[in-house]
Structure 1
């Protein structure tokens, strides 16, 4: 490919021809851009396939209609492509970051992550975002010339920083590190091999992937909560954004079938969020007039975000969901049950690594009895489990329901 910018992309977009490349040099594809290859490698990875049986809020076996990590990821990628395309950004890079953003999630959603974070405190902690980087740089072992997927610098940067700078004066996101605190070891390993410039903002494409994540889960958690009977449409009539959307549907189609009414209202909620993000980004881009992706990275804040009024309204919706869904009594009971499974499995494998499958024994031997390194191998194994496999392994190894 010629070393020049692609003319149909905005000047502040990530130009595939100007990519910083890969850690392990490879010949350019004759028919795919570097970011298209990244996207394809992520989709064909083992970790991506496992997302099918990892959950968002509900455990995988509870119902066929609830979102899994895979369906959520596909929804995020769709939103990211829509927003990125409208803003003249590189849709392939935005999609690649979106597809990779949840690869590091363990079984049982955030409940599993919380349990592993506690268990791993003596050994460097656990962060699903850093674990995703570990997966794509080390744990996927399919290629002859390297471990991992050998993704471009831009995709790795987006995975590391899509929620904002990790270090430095602007670090304030959910994965940021306070001054003086160590980086999560999985992130530190990647950053030592290739400086991801963790104190700066990520590309606009990565910022789009982060906002697309918010759009997708705000929408589908409302849908899943309704389907689970944790709240009703009438409850949502009392909330900002959702209330006006239901009112519009009732005005246009009085007496509409309840399932269609729900769908029509929630698709409008979806549209409100996407249109708001695009409008805010267009205004900020017109004001800042960035001429390169590096100017996007050097800004004082994100260029892709919700407006302040909508952000406040979404906070009210999240507060409602926290009380009525994430901490609903039935969900809390299930959280306790799956936390007990993780609390059983991790120490068992740590104390007797011989229980791990044979193909993991080489990593255990490499740890040479070092308990911290052994714990990190065990973490890689447990975090890679699906909900279904974790339940099966617990039944096989303990032969009884987990203690709560």
Structure 2
């Protein structure tokens, strides 16, 4: 076909410009129609790991109902928020979306409970961290292409994926090999695109866990009013639309909270960039902390909201009861596969020599499961599988 180059974007000088990408670990010809970061985003969307997010838990197990968030719907919401922020700041939207869409690839079945179980069971072999697991997925565990394992993403996307929550602690990288990280600079700050994806993750799950919590009956409006920002927003909703039904009131609360947080991040980021004299992406990397952030008042409100959600939703007795059952499923699956590797699919046994490698392979396999596949396998191999639906409030 005719060589039609992607139209150049008007990006800020401190953005990650695709023309300046350091490339990929396995060199590939450039695309005639897409930038390097567009190709990364597209490979992520078409990956097996992305599809598996459909049936991975956010807070409520997938059996609880069709309208609760899953890792997939959450990731799409994060990408939408991140893209909106990136557009206003003149960052590269494709790179931002690539990090946002893949940031949860490493999550296990059953949310953070599954991660805690695998981290405990793998403690003698490097532990388990979902951010590092996401990196393993896109560099090794996805096997779709003829000439390489993984997705062969650009170094900018890989570094953004590992560093979007800040430079990783050395202990978190113990189960990566030296060649896997040799080409990455993991000591400096991530680019603004990855930072945008990270804070969009916070914005999305704070707002949308309110929605799911109210829908489930485990949260109520009166409890949420304990956070002054939420009380202020609800007061505005009630003044403008008195007597509206609970569903509309919930939606108005969530959308106004999203708007307040997004606009606050944009304004604070602009202030920080100006105050630090940021002129290039190299300047961003050299900063002692993130540039994309909440203002101090909004950060305080966000911490208060997280504390409320932790106490009243994530640690709700009914949620904890289900988490305990999920932990049992994960631990028993690990035990049965670790004691008899022949139960693993043949393609997962080919690298299972030695205890450390065999157990890591087992961990990789279980971590990649969806909630429902983990339950199916537990039912097939062990039996007596517990009910993981969250009891109604």
**TM-score interval for Structure 1 and Structure 2 normalised by the shorter chain:** over 0.9
Measured after TM superposition, the shift of residue 2 of structure 1 is 12
TM-score by length of 1: 0.92
Determine the structure 1 residue equivalent to 2:361: 377
291-300 vs 72-81, greater mean Cα deviation: 291-300
Helix, strand or coil at the partner of 2:294: coil
Indicate conservation of the 8 Å contact 1:131/1:187, yes or no.
no
2:175 match = 185
**Does the Cα contact within 8 Å between 2:375 and 2:385 map onto a contact in 1?**
no
CA contact (8 A) 1:6 1:15 kept: no
Choose from 372, 375, 384 the match for 1:391: 375
- Match for residue 73 of structure 1? 75
The superposition leaves residues 335-394 of structure 1 with CA deviations (integer Å, 9 ceiling, x where unpaired) of 000100111010111110000112222223xx2xx1000001001100000000000100
Matched position secondary structure for 1:132:
helix
Query: Are 1:134 and 2:128 an aligned pair?
Result: no
Q: Distance in 2 between matches of 1:144 and 1:362?
A: 18
Contact 1:242 1:266 survives alignment (8 Å): no
**Equivalent in the alignment of 1:111:** 113
Counterpart for residue 51 of structure 2? 49
Give the 3-state SS of the residue equivalent to 1:186 in structure 2.
Answer: coil
User: Structure 1: any 5+ residue segments left out of the alignment?
Assistant: 167-175
Q: Which moved more, 1:114-123 or 1:237-246?
A: 237-246
2:22 maps to what in 1?
20
Task: Please report the RMSD computed on the Cα atoms of aligned residues, expressed in angstroms.
Answer: 1.9
- Could you tell me how far 1:188 is from its partner in structure 2? 5.1
Matched, 1:282 2:266: no
TM-score, normalised with respect to structure 2: 0.95
**CA distance in structure 2 between the aligned counterparts of 1:379 and 1:291, rounded to whole angstroms:** 43
Q: Which residue of 1 aligns with 2:95?
A: 93
The structural deviation recorded for 1:240 is 2.1
- The 1:144/1:243 distance shift into structure 2, 3 A limit, reads same
2:67 aligns to what SS in structure 1? coil
Deviations 1:306-362 (A, max 9, x none): 111111111111111111111111101100001001110101111100001122222
1:315 to 289, 299, 303: 303
1:124 alignment partner in structure 2: 126
Question: 2 CA distance for matches of 1:104 and 1:251?
Answer: 43
Task: Indicate conservation of the 8 Å contact 1:246/1:265, yes or no.
Answer: yes
Contact 2:4–2:33, Cα closer than 8 Å, also in 1: no
Cα shift at 1:182: 6.8
Q: Report how many residues are paired.
A: 385
Q: Answer with 104-113 or 226-235: which moved more.
A: 226-235
Cα distance in structure 2, aligned partners of 1:111 and 1:256 = 37
> Which deviations, in whole Å up to 9, do the C-alpha atoms of 1:34-65 show, x marking residues without a partner?
00000000000001100000011111111111
Match of residue 302 from structure 1: 290
Give the match's secondary structure for 1:20: coil
Aligned-residue offset at 1:6: 4.7
State the distance in 2 between where 1:275 and 1:161 align: 24
Match of 1:172 in 2: none
CA shift in 2, pair 1:265/1:402, >3 Å:
closer
Deviations 1:256-302 (A, max 9, x none): 22211111122111111101100001111222232211111011211
Residue 165 of structure 1: SS of its match in structure 2? coil
The farther-off stretch of 316-325 and 5-14 is 5-14
Alpha-carbon distance in structure 1 between the residues aligned to 2:298 and 2:90:
24
- State whether residues 164 and 195 of structure 2, in contact with CA within 8 Å, keep that contact through their aligned partners in structure 1: yes
What CA distance in whole angstroms lies between the structure 1 residues aligned with 2:209 and 2:326? Answer: 20
Which runs of 5 or more residues in structure 2 are unaligned? 389-393
Structure 1 residue 234: Cα displacement: 1.9
Q: For 1:202, which of 180, 190, 193 is the aligned residue?
A: 190
Matches within 5 A, 1:358-377: 358-364=346-352, 367=353, 370-377=354-361
Distance in 2 separating the partners of 1:83 and 1:343: 40
